[in-house]
Structure formats: C-alpha cells, structure tokens
Amino acid sequence: MTGKSQLGDFLQARRSQLRPEDVGVPTYGERRRVPGLRREELALLAGVSASYYTRLEQGQSLSASPDVLDAIAGALRLDESERQYLHDLARADKPRPRGRRPAPERVTEATRQLLDVLADVPAIVLGRRGDVLAWNRLGHTLFAGHLEPGAPDLSARRPNMAQLVFLDCHTRELYADWPSKARAVVGNLRLVAAQHPQDTALHALLGELSAKSPEFASMWADHRVRACSVAAYGMRHPLVGELTVIQQALSHGPGHVVVATTEAGSPSRAALALLAQAITQDTNAADPARTAPRAGTG
C-alpha cells in the first residue's frame, strides 16, 4: 500500500459517496452511469482544473499544495479527521529518507502507575497498531477475560484489538452492535496507516485482516476515516450480562490508555461493580492466605 494509490482511492471513494443534490449540483433529471459526483463537478467545486484533479486522483501528480488539498476537502465535505487524513496521505506520497526500525512499544512507568490508580475502572493500554500493551484486572476481565491475564507481557504474542474484534468469536459476541465497533476500529487504523506509511508491521496486520475477514476487507475498501476518542457501546458480558459503557482515551499516541466508564446509579454501574466483586472472589479463592483469619482474631 502506497500513499500514492491510497490518496487516489480515497478521493475516488469519497467523490462517489457524495450525491449531486448534497452539494447543489444540478442534474436536470439525467440518468448518471456512476454514483456520486463526476470528476469535473468535484474539480469545479474545489476551484481546480478538471485535468489537474484527474491527475491527482489517478496518482499522476505529487505536488498538491496544502491550500489545494483544503479546497478539495471542502468540496468533499470532509470533517476535521478526514481533512487531516487527506494531508497525511499526500505527505506519505513524497520521498522520505529511510528511517530506523521503530523500537518495540512498551508501557512507561507513569502509565503503569495510572493503571494502578484506576484499579476500580476497566483500563487497557494500546499501542498505535492496537496491540494490548497492558491492562488492569478489571480491564482484562471486561474486554478479554477468555485470554490469559499475562498475555500483554508476551511481546511476540500480545493480543491485538483489531484482530480480536474481527477474528475472535468471543469479542464479536461481546459487542451488542458489533458493526459499530468494527467500523470504529477500521476508521482508526486508516488514520494510523496514513500517519505511519512505512510501518511494515502495520501493513502486515492490515494484510492479515483483509485476507481472513471479508467484513474487514469491505469496511477498509469503504475508505471511512474515524478518530474515535469517546464512544458508547452496549456489551453482553458472559459473567454479568448486558451493560453499556463509555470507552474513552485518556491519552493519545503510543501507549494510550483506554477506560470504560458507566453512568452513576445505572444498571450498567451495578453490573460493573458485580464484575469487580467476582474478580475479588476469584483472587481470594486462588490465594487462601487472603481470607484466612489472623492468629488471635477468633
């Protein structure tokens, strides 16, 4: 995947998704052979020549200025995340010096302290590709209780949230509206792929998901971009049943922390408390010393 082909594919996909009536382009009742806007119509809206826009969409021009990209973004009605994605794709198209192999992603001591503080809140730490770098006990039990608690510590076999969402039946069943969660994962991966076009591990992940999941391949081809820092999801947890959580990122970049919160006084808050209680009981059962009476206390 090169920035060149991705830029053209993105422009073509978004142009085809924009109806003439959405932007005030008259059609005079004519039957159109292709969906969405024509290239010359989009070029007119953006204030660029049709020939230049065609070369850009076909990957034959590498010199689009930020002003031209902003004009095209405005014509396509892109939001801020999509606009930034368009600029990232254009930069990815330009020659770059070969960089060093990225260092393995690790959890900082400060982030581990944050996980300790968030003991009563489900929390996980994700790398930029969605690798699970760490989680607290409640985060593990809520999001992936069927996996070993120490899985994130095995760098070669770390769970990856995109793989779990698309390829793991337990995670699919966990989300009541699985397509919404899946689209959010794909939209975020598109942003990361544009920001890190030389990340071979990321490209390998995308290739694996496309080969193993037709649903991922279809969503990836749709070219939807989504920066999802806060979202509500209904969950069907095998231990406590249905609950609704707000998943939000407390920090961004490599090693960002994602927490799940619930509304105060809600059945979801009660379900989460029940889940925390179940973890405590399992811990005590596994370690009798925790519950054994002390000498002289009765």
DSSP state letter for 298 = -
Q: Which CATH number fits domain 109-288: 1.20.140.10, 3.30.300.30, 1.10.1660.10, 3.30.450.180?
A: 3.30.450.180
pLDDT in tens, the chain (298 residues): 444 468 888 999 999 888 887 777 777 667 777 778 889 989 999 999 999 999 898 887 767 889 999 999 999 999 998 999 999 988 876 655 555 566 778 888 888 899 999 999 999 999 999 999 999 999 999 999 999 999 998 877 899 999 999 999 999 999 999 999 999 999 999 999 998 888 899 999 999 999 999 999 999 988 888 777 899 999 999 999 999 999 999 876 567 899 999 999 999 999 999 999 988 876 666 555 554 444 444 4
Q: Is 199 helix (H, G, I), strand (E, B) or coil?
A: coil
DSSP state letter for 297 = -
Q: Domain residue spans in the chain?
A: 3-92, 109-288
Q: Is 185 within 8 Å of 169 (Cβ atoms)?
A: no
pLDDT at 63: 72
**Structure pTM?**
0.83
**CATH code for the structural domain at 3-92:** 1.10.260.40
pLDDT at 174: 97
pLDDT at 285: 62
> Residue 176, class by beta-carbon neighbours within 10 Å (0-12 exposed, 13-18 middle, 19+ buried)?
middle
